[in-house]
Amino acid sequence: MFLALLLLTAAPASELTDLLSAELDNALEVFSAQDEKPHYLALAVTDQDQVTVSARGGTVGSSIERHERVLDVDLRVGEPALDSTHPLRGFSAMEGSSRSRVLLPAESGYALRHAIRTELDGQYRDHAERIVMIRANRSVKVEEEDNAPDFSPRDESTVDELPIADMDIDREAWEVALSGISAILEESEHVHASNVQIQAVRTAKSFVDSEGSSIVHGTVRARVSMQVQSVADDGDHINVFVSKDVHDPSALPTEDVLTSWATEAVDHLHALRDAPRATPYSGPVLLTGKASGVFFHEVFGHRVEGHRQKRESEGKTFADYVGKPILPDFIDVFDDPTIAHLAGDDLNGHYAYDDEGVPATRAELVDDGVFQGFLMSRTPISGFPDSNGHGRRMAGRAPVARMGNTIVEAAKTSTREQLRTRLRKYAKDQDLDFGILVEDIEGGFTLTGRVMPNAFNVRASTAWRVFVDGREDELIRGIDLVGTPFVAFSNLRAAGEERQVFNGHCGAESGWVPVSAVAPDLLFERLEFQLKEKGQERPPLLDKPGPDGSSDAEGVAQ
């Protein structure tokens, strides 16, 4: 069962892009003869091969390989200055697209062309209707805050075909290995649920547009993850999650490494079960590298996504801060999808071209603490007419500006011990017994609109009380880091020497995209924690069935 997953049934990339180009030309010719004319059209096909192997209860939970081909049509009717993608306001904003995800066959025959034409027809009809509504909406409503055009045409086109690595996964070997790891996880009576999984995905993207671009590129990504869960006696859901993302599946951690992870994960689960629930807190906080990365992703990254500056419903936190300081002068922030590896890790947010066919480029966001600009797709905003290659989407969604590799650098750094010393000092100055060190997080979210508070929530999974009197640190649970961006940034005081990588997937309007956040330890003089929601269920009423609860049955059978 050693599988080399290639697109064996799919047409060669060049054949596919030729087909897409022919369909694009045909559609443009037909649509251009209509009253409402398109000014831009792009077709993209995403081929995704996925292998997932998971284990739970000491046995194989699932073992799946799957291929999927998805079509995306980006059609813009009208003019670049005002086109059918322009946001509607008021009641008309309820008008949504009814288009759904379009799966395509792998073979380049009649069925493929028919599906493409059906979708093109539907998209044209939707956009031709929408531009009429947009014009009326614009005349009825007040002038918009941002009058930038809706699209930035490119002077040059790109023709490129990049090699995409094969994806070799020995499923059978992983089934055996993960089952063994799973058995270790389940040994503890306090592990109420567990899962260990590898997932490898080979993505090939074929893109053509009406500007003459024709691009084939893609990625291979693999992740191993391990999760153990428990319910504490007070009902709190305890969750320990560890993962590793790589670009080459052969670089996934070995069985020995995973075995040690399993032991550590269960030990940590026990420690968290025994740890006290913390109380709401305002005081000094030290975020270690991974937590810092997620902090910047939530607090800063989503607020500098360009398309948000164009929507009247958005908070536009930093729109008026271009050229002004928003962070201490020792901090730089940029987003650079061209970086494949950093700080010893492969970066999830690496790509060569974005989903609008624009080469990925480094976007300078903060330089010496001064805000520089936004992550840009091909939807311009005032003062930022061009894309910087950050138009991204999950297949089946419309692209918007998204993060790739968000990287925080500090010109002035301190050792971890120096940061801990300052943490204690700040706590003492604030008449507190302790400061809080956040070692790990399990994600977060942020609200960027105007109706709800413009706040963030970074979900701490491992946090410690660091006592002023030098006592041993105390593990705590049950709190989340919350706040608002300006206040949080104004309390940033120092940064650490070493950067850590957070690899994950970020969900927003254009779906889930792989991202990385890289940052050093960051020390804040004051941040706030609120109570995390707490589970209310009692732990299981009966003892966990153990391996000794066997019967005469043997093996695996139906």
Partner 1 sequence: MIVFLALAMAAEPPVTPVSAALSAELERTSELSLPDAPPIYLARTHALVMEQTNILASFGSTVHRNDSPFNVAYIELRVGEPAFDNTGFGGWQTGFTSASLPLQPTEEAVRLELWRGMDRSYKEAVEQYARKSAQFTAPDDYPGDYTLVEPVIDDLGTRDAPDRDGLEALAQRLSATLAEPVDGTRLVRGEVHVGAEAGTLWTLDSSGTHLRRPVAETSVRAVLHAQAEDGMLLADHDYLTAQSANALGTVETLEMSLRVRARRLVKLAEAPAFEGEYVGPVLFEQSAAVDLFRFVLVPQLEGTPDEIPFDSFFGDIGIRSAGDARLGRRVLPVGWDVRDDPLADAAFPGSFAYDAEGTPSQAVDLVTDGIVRTALMSRVPRSDIPETNGHARGALGQRAQGRASIMEVTAPKSDSTRKVHKKAMALAKSYGHDHYIVVRRLQEPSARLRSEPYAYLTDDEAQALPMPLAIVKVFADGREETLRGAQFTSVQRYALRDIAAVGAPETAQYLASADGQPVDSSPTSGLPTRLTAPSVLIGELELVAAPGDSRSIPLLAPPEQ
Q: Footprint of partner 1 on this chain (CB under 8 A)? A: 26-27, 30-31, 34, 55-64, 66, 68, 98, 100, 103-107, 109-115, 117-118, 120-121, 124-125, 179, 186, 192-193, 537-538, 540-542, 544-547, 549-558
Contacts of 48 (CB under 8 A, 6+ apart): 67, 68, 69, 70, 201, 202, 203, 204, 395
**Cα–chain-centroid distance for residue 221?**
14
Q: Which residues pair with 391 in a beta bridge?
A: 401
Rounded to whole angstroms, the Cα distance separating 54 from 134 reads 48
Rounded to whole angstroms, the Cα distance separating 304 from 298 reads 10
Rg (CA), the chain: 26
Q: How far is the CB of 232 from partner 1 (least distance, A)?
A: 15
Rounded to whole angstroms, the Cα distance separating 332 from 520 reads 11
Q: Cβ closer to partner 1: 451 or 553?
A: 553
Query: Under a CB-based contact definition with an 8 Å cutoff, are residues 231 and 238 in contact?
Result: yes
Residue 61's identity, in one-letter code, is G
**Pairing of β 363-367 and β 331-335:** antiparallel
Q: Sign (positive/negative) of CA torsion 21, 23, 29, 31? A: negative
Q: How far is the CB of 549 from partner 1 (least distance, A)?
A: 6
Q: Which residues pair with 479 in a beta bridge?
A: 531
Q: How far is the CB of 113 from partner 1 (least distance, A)?
A: 4
Q: List own/partner pairs for 468-472 with CB under 8 A and 24 or more apart.
A: 468/424, 468/427, 468/428, 468/432, 468/433, 468/434, 468/435, 469/433, 470/424
Q: How far is the CB of 543 from partner 1 (least distance, A)?
A: 9
Q: Sign (positive/negative) of CA torsion 527, 529, 530, 532? A: positive
| DSSP summary character for residue 119 | H
Q: Which residues pair with 407 in a beta bridge?
A: 334, 518
Q: How far is the CB of 375 from partner 1 (least distance, A)?
A: 32
Q: Cβ closer to partner 1: 163 or 545?
A: 545
Q: Cβ closer to partner 1: 88 or 106?
A: 106
Q: How far is the CB of 256 from partner 1 (least distance, A)?
A: 23
- For 513, the token pair is 């995209």
Q: Cβ closer to partner 1: 69 or 499?
A: 69
Rounded to whole angstroms, the Cα distance separating 368 from 506 reads 27
Q: How far is the CB of 194 from partner 1 (least distance, A)?
A: 9
Q: How far is the CB of 545 from partner 1 (least distance, A)?
A: 4
- How many CA atoms within 13 Å lie on the side-chain side of 377? 23
Q: Cβ closer to partner 1: 4 or 553?
A: 553
Rounded to whole angstroms, the Cα distance separating 140 from 134 reads 10
Q: Cβ closer to partner 1: 28 or 501?
A: 28
Nearest alpha carbon to residue 62 among 169, 183, 167, 195: 195
Q: Cβ closer to partner 1: 450 or 544?
A: 544
